[in-house]
Structure formats: C-alpha cells, structure tokens
Amino acid sequence: MRSHPCVVVGFGADTVSHLREGDQLTLARAPEMPGDVVCFHGEACIGHIPASRGWVARSLAEGDSHQVTVTGFDTDAEGKLAQVEIAVAILGDDRPDRPPIRSVISEIGDELRILAMVGAADGRLAPAERAVMEEFAAARAAELGLTPDAGEVAHAVRWARRHVPDTLDVAGIVRRLTKGRPEALPLIAEACAVVAEVDGRIAPEERQSMITLQALLDQGIAAAKRGGAGA
C-alpha cells in the first residue's frame, strides 16, 4: 500500500495545536464547496485539501477508502505554521486504470534531500542555497511534466531540509536513481556543486559532504553506463 504526500490548509492555529505526527485523520466531501475535501481529527474539522490536489476528491467520489496520517508540520520563513503535512494511502489501490498520483515531493523529493544535505552541512540552509534548490526543483518538475501548485516548490525544499539524509540514506537514494532515473545523477552532482559555492564559501563540512557524495554519484553514473552498455 503506497502513501501519497499531501497537505492540509485553511486552519486556525488553535484548530491544529493538538495534532501530533502519527495522528490519523479522516476525509469527507464538502457539500457546500463541490470539489473540496475537508479533513477531520476525530469530530473536529481541521482544514481542507487544496483544490489543486484533485486526485483526492476524485478518489473519494469513486468510493475509495483511505488511511490518512499526519507526517509533519511545515512552517514558513517567519516560523508560522503554513501547512499540515499528511500521507494519504488509498486502500486496495490496485486499479490498473488509476491515473498516476504525482507531486514534487513524490517525484524529486529524494533529489532535493541530497541537495539539502550539502547545503545544510554547516548547520543551516542559507537563503542563496535555498534559492538554488528551488530553481533546481522547478526545472526538474518541468522536465518531468509536473505543474506544481503555487508554493509547492518552496514547500518541497522546506520538507527536504527537515529530512536531510545521512550517508547511508544517500547511498540508498543513489542506488534507486541508478536503477530508475540515472539521468538525474549528473544533474544532482552539478546542482550540489552550485549549492556548496553559492554563498561565496565552501565550509569544511560542505567540502566533506561533497567528497562523499561525489564518490557515490560517480559510482552510480558508472554503474548506469555499464547497465546501458549491456542492454
């Protein structure tokens, strides 16, 4: 059963103050707002799914059952809660005709996590580094045929910053990309170099991260070439 990343918006701070990661939510159609989906925590309505996430409304209309879990809390640049992050699993999701459910996080979240590891190696992600990551995310989304919602790219970068991988995680990400999307590896390597240098200096921590990461990426690129040559 695959879970799909999504968000809840349109809430008051007091409405979600009692929420915790791992809490279960339920979804319901909003009769007064056709196409909108509202989220409940117990008996309390905490907010709604953005209308642009139309796959949620379609799934409800088709009679699907869901498991909805709170996975995080996204804050804006001022530290205010901007979105409640959730994972939506469609129970019995085995229909061959179901359209793919795609988002910036689901498609390139791992790539952004690698960039975040380099940018945040010194303990912080500078505005210039964040801007490079957002440019990378927007370009990759366009290459993959995605049309992000307003604010979705910035949210994906903030999400990646909160999910910085360790070396073991990066090795796993590179292995997955080598098998499924090898063309991304040199793009990531180039973007990581820009992230490391964009604030005018390369901190020792960033330099060490780049050395480790470059070795993993080089191994992945070489493995992908060998696989292509043998195909």
Task: Name beta bridge partners: 66.
Answer: 90
Which pLDDT score is estimated for 110?
95
Which pLDDT score is estimated for 79?
85
Which pLDDT score is estimated for 36?
85
Which pLDDT score is estimated for 228?
56
Q: How far is CA 119 from the centre of its chain?
A: 17
What are the per-10-residue average pLDDT scores of the chain (231 residues)? 87 86 93 79 91 88 92 88 93 74 93 93 88 97 92 93 92 94 94 86 77 90 75 35
Please report, for residues 108, 133, 140, 174, 180, the alpha-carbon distance to residue 220 in angstroms, rounded to integers and kept in the order given: 17, 21, 19, 6, 11
- Domains in the chain, start-ordered, CATH in brackets? 3-90 (3.30.70.2330), 104-229 (1.10.3680)
> DSSP string covering the chain, please?
--EEEEEEBS--HHHHTT--TT-EEEEEE-TTSTT-EEEEETTEEEEEE-TT-HHHHHHHHTT--EEEEEEEEEE-TTS-EEEEEEEEEETT---TTPPP---HHHHHHHHHHHHHHHHTTTS---HHHHHHHHHHHHHHHHHTT--PPTTHHHHHHHHHHHT---HHHHHHHHHHHHHH-TTHHHHHHHHHHHHHHTTS---HHHHHHHHHHHHHHHHHHHHHHHHHHT-
* Cα–Cα distance measured from residue 123 to residue 126, given in angstroms and rounded to the nearest whole number: 10
Which pLDDT score is estimated for 54?
86
Please report, for residues 118, 153, 173, 196, the alpha-carbon distance to residue 166 in angstroms, rounded to integers and kept in the order given: 11, 23, 11, 17
* Token pair recorded at residue 39: 């989220």
Which pLDDT score is estimated for 67?
95
